[in-house]
Amino acid sequence: MAATSIFARAAGLEAAGRSFVIATVVAVRRPTSARPGASGIVHPDGAIEGWVGGSCARPVVVREALRALVDGQPRLLRLSKDVPAEGRRGDGVVELVMTCHSGGTLEIYVEPHLPAPVLWVAGTTPIAGALVALGSAAGWRVSVFDPVADPAAFPGAERVIAGTDIRDTDPAVSPAVVVATQGVWDEEATAAALARNAAYVGLVASPTRAGVVRAWLREEARIPEERLAALRAPAGIDLGAETAEEVALSILAELVQVRRGTAAFVASPGPATLAGEVSPAPIQPVIDDIVLLDPVCGMTVDRAHARHLAEHDGVVYAFCSMGCRTSFIREPTAYLTPPISSPD
């Protein structure tokens, strides 16, 4: 392939969000069949488009290119018969032994091109807004999920989805998911994130609230312990953050650790393994005949945003959060005032 074709092909792959490596010959010492400026594209399956040297160089270039896709780091390869031993030098050059009898030396620059990382934020809270702004500024492709999300409120987001379908949206994508709903639909959003192939799942919550959500995920959503172990709750590095922007910064710092492979914790819950393929509890539609006063905490629920509903003795009650709904379902009589008997 001509250099212009390589560049055009690379631009197309980048626009499509594909991972690839560009390998370019930067120096040669004859005899060798390659010439300075020769380049090729190495794909994740090891296929090569273009020219990066003969049969001796190609397998080595492919091997190092695939390693570059894993660690995200470029490297300069030096292939020569004069190398005493293979390995990375102090200046970053990777020394490799040329096995061909013809001899010669090749220096090839290997540069990985990885798609922008994907961040999904659930919620419309100030922390969600700050995370969208900081994440997009740091080069993440950010999507917002929430039934009441307004695209105008999230100018940095690539897309704003007025819904809750975190589990089944873009099944081939492995996003980092941060649940910043702060009590509104924490449980449903976290369960949906843990039920898909996600690179990271974090919950914005206090340690006490995080414990309540974990208990619900374990007991009601029946999410296995090995998946719960990957949940970061509270999300973010402990920076002593107080403002929404500082909390968002602590979460983004943690996401950088995960992306660069320096996190000291298990980040990814992996493919869905929910027992019995139990789906996360859906957000129920608003209906007319409901009691809008939460019997557990006494809060009045906005009818337009009533999501957590439960029925008891033919009466439908609305709750401010999944936690209140769960408490009610377990022991409804504890929260219902019995009728006062009239005197005989």
Of 84-88, 89-93, 201-205, 327-331, the least confident: 84-88
Mind listing the pLDDT tens digit for each residue in 253-284? 999 999 887 888 888 886 544 443 444 444 44
- Helix (H, G, I), strand (E, B), or coil: what is residue 266? coil
Q: Return d(Cα 246, Cα 237) in angstroms, integer.
A: 10
Residues in the chain: 344
Which range in 176-185, 271-280, 326-335 is most confidently predicted, on average pLDDT? Answer: 176-185
- Helix (H, G, I), strand (E, B), or coil: what is residue 122? strand
Whether the model clears a pTM of 0.85, i.e. scores above it, the answer is no
Domains and CATH numbers, the chain: 3-113 (no CATH), 118-277 (3.40.50.720), 290-334 (no CATH)
- Helix (H, G, I), strand (E, B), or coil: what is residue 297? coil
The answer for residues whose C-beta is within 8 angstroms of residue 329's C-beta and 6 or more apart is: 310
- What are the structure tokens assigned to 100, written together? 């061909």
Residue 172: the pLDDT is 84
Mind listing the pLDDT tens digit for each residue in 198-253? 999 999 999 999 999 999 999 989 999 888 999 999 999 999 999 999 999 999 99
